[in-house]
Amino acid sequence: MSTTRDAEFTEFVTARQTHLRRIAYAVCGDWNRADDVLQTALTKLYVAWPRLRRDGREEAYVRQIIVRTDIDEHRRPSRREQPGLDGHDGAARAELPVEERSALFDALQALPVMQRKTVVLRHWLGLSVEETAAELRISTGTVKSHTSRAIAALQVGLSSSEV
What is the rounded distance in angstroms from the CA atom of residue 48 to the CA atom of residue 56? 12
pTM exceeds cut of 0.75: no
pLDDT tens per residue across span 7-53: 999 999 999 999 999 999 988 888 888 999 999 999 999 998 888 88
Q: Please, what is the average pLDDT of the chain?
A: 82
User: What is the set of domains in the chain, with CATH numbers?
Assistant: 1-76 (no CATH), 100-163 (1.10.10.10)
- Tens digit of pLDDT for each residue in 66-99? 999 888 877 766 554 555 545 544 555 555 545 4
What lies within 8 Å, CB to CB, of 68 at 6+ separation is 135
Element holding 10 (H helix, E strand): helix 2-28
For residue 101, pLDDT beyond 90: no
- Quick one: pLDDT at residue 158? 76
Q: What is the pLDDT of residue 157?
A: 80
pLDDT at 100: 46
Residue 144 has pLDDT above 90, yes or no: yes
CB 150 within 8 A of CB 111: yes
CA dihedral 52, 58, 62, 63 (to 10 degrees): -130
**Which of 53-67, 69-83, 139-153 is least confident?**
69-83
- Check pLDDT > 70 for residue 139: yes
